[in-house]
């Protein structure tokens, strides 16, 4: 059956900390990151050149030259962050396309540690005044909700899910990005000059434009996170739906498209972060 859930499903709890299926995949991403970095570092330190160093050198050189074109003289400060964004997002996107992601399901018995109040509410309310067979007609919405809630503990759950197909990951990345934009704007321009961009008191129209600028800073969080989440999650859903309709090789063209989309989204996230940081650093002088 087809199980699509926008929320990532909780697999188990480690003493009140929920571990979701995309959290497992994020840990896998970090492991891959560390293994790549360790092998690259040890090969570079001993002076050898194997395929891994050649490949990573090529990718890094392209990315560094491109970032240098955007960020000009600040590339030495900004490249660690932007390079990390690129590699993390692209590894996350491609990890969600491996076999096993989205296809291994199981029915967990979640022994969630509910608080005492929740446990009282989870027991269905019995209406003792009515006749037993009439209670079916007088079921309120709360009764059906509670029975659904009890059934939810036994739904099938995917074991693994792409890390960026989880809105939590993308919102975290977007928050880091927007925070870094403000941080570098304030650090290089000074807090007063940077605040003048938003609270421009030269004329009434510029003041309203400044407020719009402030609002668009917050909208950027949603734009960053939903762009990445939407592309990757929609790709996952399309692959699942097509595989559900036509079992064998029909999802292959969509898989190729997902490779392209994964690369483009990582590239766009990095480039947009770089462009916005440069906009914040070099504020225009009206």
Partner 1 sequence: MQDIAAAIAIGFGAIGPGIGIGLIGAKAMEAIGRNPDAQDKIQTSMFLAFAFAEAIAIFALVLSFIIKFVK
Contacts with partner 1 by CB under 8 A lie at 4-7, 66, 148, 223, 226-227, 229-231, 233-234, 237, 264-265, 267-268, 271-272
Cβ nearer to partner 1, comparing 5 with 216: 5
Radius of gyration of the chain (CA): 25
Nearest-CA neighbor of 272 among 80, 61, 86? 86
Tell me how far, at minimum, the Cβ of 5 lies from partner 1, in Å: 6
Tell me how far, at minimum, the Cβ of 212 lies from partner 1, in Å: 18
For residue 211, what are the contacts with CB-CB under 8 A and spacing of at least 6? 198
Tell me how far, at minimum, the Cβ of 275 lies from partner 1, in Å: 9
| Tokens standing for residue 83 | 């390079």
- Residues in the chain, total: 286
Q: Which pairing describes strands 10-14 and 17-20: parallel, antiparallel, or unpaired?
A: antiparallel
Tell me how far, at minimum, the Cβ of 226 lies from partner 1, in Å: 6
Cβ nearer to partner 1, comparing 31 with 219: 219
| Tokens standing for residue 69 | 């074109």
96-133 in b/e burial notation, b at 16+ Cβ within 10 A? bbeeebbeeeeebebeeeeeeeeeeeeeeeeeeeeeee
Tell me how far, at minimum, the Cβ of 230 lies from partner 1, in Å: 3
CA atoms of 124 and 107, how far apart (whole Å): 23
Cβ nearer to partner 1, comparing 171 with 186: 171
| CA angle, residues 71, 72, 73, in degrees to nearest 5 | 110
Cβ nearer to partner 1, comparing 52 with 222: 222
Cβ nearer to partner 1, comparing 7 with 72: 7
Q: Which residue is it, tokens 């304030």?
A: 186
Q: At what angle do helices 252-281 and 167-189 cross, to 10 degrees?
A: 20
Nearest-CA neighbor of 269 among 90, 124, 97, 8? 90
Cβ nearer to partner 1, comparing 59 with 272: 272
Tell me how far, at minimum, the Cβ of 284 lies from partner 1, in Å: 21
Cβ nearer to partner 1, comparing 15 with 151: 151
Distances, alpha carbon 249 to alpha carbons 102, 104, 158, 244, in Å = 16, 18, 21, 11
Tell me how far, at minimum, the Cβ of 158 lies from partner 1, in Å: 13
Q: 9 phi and psi, to 5 degrees? A: -85, 140
């Amino acid at each position: 059956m087809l199980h699509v859930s926008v929320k990532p499903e909780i697999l188990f709890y480690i003493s009140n900390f929920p571990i979701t299926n995309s959290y497992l995949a994020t840990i896998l991403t970090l492991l891959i990151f560390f293994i790549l970095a360790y092998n690259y570092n040890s090969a570079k330190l001993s002076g050898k050149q194997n395929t891994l160093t050649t490949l990573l050198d090529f990718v890094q050189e392209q990315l560094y030259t491109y970032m240098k074109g955007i960020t000009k003289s600040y590339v030495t400060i900004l490249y660690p962050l932007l390079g990390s964004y690129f590699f993390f997002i692209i590894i996350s996107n491609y990890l969600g396309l491996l076999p096993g992601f989205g296809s291994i399901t199981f029915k967990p018995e979640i022994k969630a540690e509910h608080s005492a109040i929740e446990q009282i509410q989870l027991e269905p309310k019995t209406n003792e005044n009515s006749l037993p067979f009439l209670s079916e007609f007088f079921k309120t919405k709360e009764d059906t909700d509670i029975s659904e809630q009890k059934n939810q503990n036994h739904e099938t759950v995917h074991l693994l899910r792409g890390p960026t197909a989880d809105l939590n990951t993308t919102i975290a990345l977007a928050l880091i990005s927007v925070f870094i934009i403000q941080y570098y704007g304030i650090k290089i321009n000074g807090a007063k000059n940077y605040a003048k961009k938003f609270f421009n008191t030269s004329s009434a129209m510029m003041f309203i434009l400044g407020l719009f600028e402030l609002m668009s800073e917050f909208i950027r969080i949603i734009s960053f996170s939903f762009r990445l989440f939407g592309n990757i999650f929609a790709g996952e859903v399309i692959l699942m739906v097509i595989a559900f309709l036509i079992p064998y090789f029909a999802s292959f063209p969509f898989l190729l498209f997902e490779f392209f989309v994964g690369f483009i989204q990582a590239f766009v996230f990095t480039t947009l972060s770089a462009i916005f940081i440069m906009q914040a650093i070099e504020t225009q002088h009206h």
